[in-house]
Structure 1
Amino acid sequence: MRWTSLSAAGAVALLVSACSAAEAAAPLTRTPDGRALEVTFADEFDSFRPYRNGQGVWRTTFRDGRDDHDDDFNLRTLKWNKELQLYVDPEMRGHRGRHGDGDRDAREQALGLNPFRVKDGVLEITADRVPAQLADRLGGFGYTSGLITTQPSHSQTYGYFEMRAKLPRGKGVWPAFWLLPLDLSWPPEIDVMESVGDPGKVYVTLHSNAVKAEGTEIPVSPGDFHTYAVAWTRENVVWFVDGREVKRMATPADMHKPMYMLANIALGGDWAGAPDATTPFPARLQIDFIRAYRFAP
């Protein structure tokens, strides 16, 4: 994939615009370019609400949460990205293929892995090495991490979507905030924000069968909270960082259907590369809020 860079003037504006988590703004009434908005979804993370048994907000696996081949952990990693982590949650059980019938009780027992923690109104998603005592129950994966999606609880066609977050650093660490189609097709995909190892650089792009994807590299101040957003209409897709427009594209022909939001930390892959001895673990993505809006009449 080819990347372009933001202008020097835009970079300076972004570097000085960061603020602390305590200074988070109220939900918007207008986009940065003036369009009226109405809130359709907001989580300020005063608590974490996993989606279970038809209730809650956040699914912690991909797609619709059903898999007939859970021994392969198909819903807990993206193999075609060559990712090295499993997305875990407190209800996750071990790899059934590693146990005989005599280990049925162990097989049915949850592993006790929880990458999600809420503190002072901020959700922390943690990526870390697999605990040595659980290595034989996690299918050979070396890392655990967390994924949240609104696939069961919220989706919409067009709108303004934003996440305020502080990004982790380290080789092979790949946090993201993105949109996928509710009908579980791919593409399209909107990447509101991705970062690869360096929290001083983020990338914005989209994927489509109708147009060639070209991403843009945006410099930001590392170690600070920033707000990453996209405005998606029938005509255009426009990205913002801290209220400043950083990229604009015509909406592709295949991007006119409901989409839902995802946030996660991946590890490894062809783009990010594998973590190494310099990668600080645990790596934490800190999310102050995630919100969605529709354009008001």
Structure 2
Amino acid sequence: MYPERSEAARIDTDADQAALATGPLATGPSDVLALVTSTSPWSPAAVAGVSLAARWGSNLTGCFMDPSTRGLHDTDREPTVLGLLMDPPTHDADAHAAFGAFARQSGVCEATWAASHTGLARTLRHLGAWHDLAVVERDVVDTSGVLDVLGEAILGSQLPCLILPPRWSGGFGFGHVVIGCNGSIESIRAIHAALPFLRMAKQVTLVDGDVRMSYDAESCLPHFDPFVYLLRHHVTAKPQYIRASSDVAGDILLKKARDAQIDLLVMGAFGHSPARERVFGGATRRVLEEADIPVLMQH
């Protein structure tokens, strides 16, 4: 015969069961990084970072990217000619105070300010060591540097990156989210990183392009089922299936995004490094170049 539970223990257990029945509270990343390109007015990354950090109760870091050096590759160590000609920035103190005030007014409890005077890849890899999510504007570099400079930063940092399209001024409700998953490690990591966004979404569509590979069976690796994983995290996804090459898959994802008027696309950032250069896979390259909605990517 088991001893009778105390009233306090019974109340605690009942509360635990109620919490399980209603699902977990919406939690987000502890530390959000916004790579800021403009302070007056605040650039889209700053606005998005403040909005998300306030919603999740996250710590926020705003980092101003020096325009004269942000295009440097990770292997570059010398300043550009333009950088040598420019005067050192003097607005850091004022920007620090302004960013703190902007964040507090929006409901962010902890906000810090920094400035980077080196390349995007080195900055993101360094700051990514103590952040859980980076918010980056696609036009943080010019069009010619999207694939090599921004690509190097995304692939090198291995940090979840919310990429905002040029001149983004939309909201950050993320009512309808589409996930592109092909069973790769990159896409699985992206789904895991996207959970805070998925919990906020009213509708989630999972475009599953997973092909059961023979080497999975030979290596005895457990299979990742994205639908089961999402259900475990109280996210119900509507399934869609495609079988297409990497290049075509990018076009399909973009078409679905436009037709369904989605708010966020989630996908893995696929890449490799021939001759020491970071090179995107076909679907990743297509989406990064042409998406006109926010894209959450992770390598």
Question: Relative to total residues, which structure has the larger helix share, 1 or 2?
Answer: 2
> TM-score, normalized by length of structure 2?
0.28
Select the structure with the greater relative contact order (CA < 8 A; seq sep ≥ 6): 1
Question: Relative to total residues, which structure has the larger strand share, 1 or 2?
Answer: 1
> TM-score, normalized by length of structure 1?
0.28
- Larger Rg belongs to: 2
